[in-house]
Amino acid sequence: MKIGIVCPYSWDVPGGVQFHIRDLAEHLVRLGHEVSVLAPADDDTPLPPYVVSAGRAVPVSYNGSVARLSFGFLSAARVRRWLHDGTFDVVHIHEPASPSLGLLTCWAAQGPIVATFHTSNPRSRAMIAAYPILQPALEKISARIAVSEYARRTLVEHLGGDAVVIPNGVDVDFFARAEPRKEWQGETLGFIGRIDEPRKGLPVLMRALPKILTERPGARLLVAGRGDEEEAVASLPAEMRSRVEFLGMVSDEDKARLLRSVDVYVAPNTGGESFGIILVEALSAGAPVLASDLDAFAQVLDQGSAGELFANEDAEALADAAVALLGDAARRAELSARGSAHVRRFDWSTVGADILAVYETVTDGAAAVDTDERTGGLRARLGL
Amino acid sequence: MTETLIWTVLALIFIGVYLSWTAGRLDRLHTRIDAARAALDAQLLRRASVTQELATSGVLDPAASIVLYEAAHAARQAEEDHREVAESELSQALRAVFGEPEQVELVRAAPGGEEAAGSWRRPSAGCRWPAASTTTPSVRPAPCAATARSAGSDSQATPLSAGLRNGRRATRGPC
């Protein structure tokens, strides 16, 4: 099958959507499909052979933060050329509601279009007003995928229509086969995420830590991620600060080894998560997971059967659960075994097959994707 | 004795005339600031309206339309404190979309496009006119003007243009 995938965000900036597209493309290539990914990228970025650059993304303020997006005449022309040269059987767009390449492709193409919705942003007033602009493009989508039940609900509420839920994929074996490291083992708690982003929940964990360390004096916290380390431990009593180790940014291999080594992986995120790929990675590595009870996390952890949940932002509850887990090796082994079995549904072999099934449904009996010639202003509006 | 008196009276008259002249000058400058500010406000509002209209017209691609629409919406709804930033962001969005000459040609070709193009250019001129107003602060600190506050109120003496020029986002401001 000839598959075109559109990435809305800069290829050179690491991010969840970019990684998902990279892994999906590589998985599809391994299965023998012809894949081309259209993504914004700087001219000097080295790109994998399957990526086509759509030029540099422009930083503009959008939805309260500065985002690097691709829009405008030149980008639209590049999208048309890519569609025209590619003669794809199906085009897979990511984040079609953000004003970037995804939306442009949706507008410029006709034929089988599959769209994946990743985020679950609360709808802004400006967004409601801008909906008539989006609608004609979004109407062309033949099948919609949401990455989680949570993302699906937001999609249904904001844009109407329904979507199938296909979770983000993870290479489970990459994590399951990683080699544990001696110095990261022995009553260790793990945390991975931006240190200075309160949404990732490190402050909650820091509030819980004194109680954990009082009950389990041998325990240690390993933190991997970017941010100000001094500031992060500022709330801790001085004698406890040595129990927290900062590993900085870690490579994918070290991340897998860290998850393999820790006794408990803690995800105290306080909100804004639509999926929680890090939990899936922790489960893949067989780490017992203790997470806040966000909708998205409860979904990934199968409502608490594949990992323990605590009340969101409740440091007391987090401390109690962590102490109980650290002291109960049997429970940890049970969680690890159940997590490893549960996580298979997030493996690329399962997720990739689901996505391919969606492709097959929309391409069945349909002509190949082509450029839509009716996009010229007034005529398109009148549907001529 | 008489001579000293005459000199004192003359000096007093001179100071009086100087004060009155300075006050008059300050008053005229304040009037100019108000007029320039009103003109700039009208131009910025008009720019935002035209941008919104263009974004919903279907002339541009939907991605550019949404970027422009959101920026124009934010600029129109902004509170006085955030206005400067919101207008700067609208300028940035307009520059990002119309940095491509082909895009401008496309808009010009549409009915009414020529007028629309004009309404984006005007605010940048509008920012420059109140340049005279930047001389007001140099008048204000003069000791006599400070003691004889007769014309204008000082709260008005921070022109929007100064904020746009010297503020945090000066390089990206509407000017």
Q: For the segment A221-244, what is each residue's pLDDT rounded down to a tens digit?
A: 999 988 888 888 888 888 888 899
Give first-to-last CA distance, chain A, whole Å: 32
pLDDT at A289: 94
Q: Which of A24-33, A79-88, A157-166, B23-32 has the lowest mean pLDDT?
A: A157-166
**Shortest Cα distance from A3 to chain B (angstroms)?**
23
Q: Give the span between the Cα atoms of B19 and B16, in whole angstroms.
A: 5
Closest C-alpha to A1, from A349, A357, A370, A371: A357
What's the CA dihedral at B9, B13, B14, B16 to 10 degrees? 140
CB nearest to B61's CB, from A76, A132, A381:
A76
CB nearest to A99's CB, from B67, B73, B110:
B67
Mutation for testing the B interface, residue in A38, A58, A61 having most B CBs under 10 Å: A61
Q: Encode pLDDT of A61-97 as tens digits.
A: 776 677 788 888 888 899 999 999 999 999 999 988 8
pLDDT at B122: 65
Kindly tell me if the per-residue pLDDT of B164 is higher than 50: no
Task: Using DSSP bridges, classify how beta strands A370-371 and A109-110 pair: parallel, antiparallel or unpaired.
Answer: antiparallel
CB < 8 Å to A71, chain B: 61, 63-64, 67, 96-97
| Averaged pLDDT, A167-176 | 91
pLDDT at B128: 54
Interface contact flag, B70 A62, Cβ < 8 Å: yes
| Averaged pLDDT, A249-274 | 90
CB < 8 Å to B96, chain A: 58, 60, 71-72
3-state secondary structure at position A326: helix
- Residues in chain A, overall count: 384
Phi, psi for residue B58 in degrees, rounded to 5? 85, 5
Residue B34 burial class via C-beta count within 10 angstroms: exposed 0-12, middle 13-18, buried 19 and up: middle
Closest C-alpha to A259, from A340, A147, A346: A340
Q: How confident is the model at residue B171 (pLDDT cuts 50, 70, 90)?
A: very low
Radius of gyration for chain A, computed over Cα atoms and rounded to the nearest angstrom: 22
* B contact set with A (CB within 8 A): 55-59, 61-67, 69-71, 73-74, 89, 92-93, 96-97, 99-100, 102-103, 106, 110
What's the mean per-residue pLDDT of chain A? Answer: 88
Q: How far is Cα of residue B135 from the mean position of the Cα atoms in its chain?
A: 14
* A contact set with B (CB within 8 A): 58, 60-63, 69-76, 99-101, 103-104, 106-108, 125-127, 129-130, 132-134, 136-137, 375, 377-378, 380-381
* Residue B12 or residue A304, greater confidence: B12
- Reported ipTM: the value is 0.73
Q: Dig out the tokens for B151 from the structure.
A: 């014309």
Kindly tell me if the per-residue pLDDT of B167 is higher than 60: no
Inter-helix orientation angle B62-77/A125-138, to 10°? 170
Which fold would CATH assign to domain A173-344?
A: Rossmann fold (3.40.50)
pLDDT at A376: 53
pLDDT at B121: 66
Which fold would CATH assign to domain A2-169+347-379?
A: Rossmann fold (3.40.50)
Q: How confident is the model at residue B144 (pLDDT cuts 50, 70, 90)?
A: very low
Q: How confident is the model at residue B151 (pLDDT cuts 50, 70, 90)?
A: very low
Span(s) in chain A for CATH 3.40.50.2000: 2-169+347-379, 173-344
Q: Give the span between the Cα atoms of A82 and A88, in whole angstroms.
A: 10
Q: How many CA atoms lie within 13 Å of A211's alpha carbon, on the beta-carbon side?
A: 16
Q: How far is CA B45 from CA A62, B39, B50, B73, B80, in A?
A: 20, 10, 9, 11, 13
Instruction: List b or e across A76-110, with b for residues whose CB sees 16 or more CB atoms inside 10 angstroms.
Output: bbbbbebbeebebbbbbbbbbbbbbbbbbbbbbbb
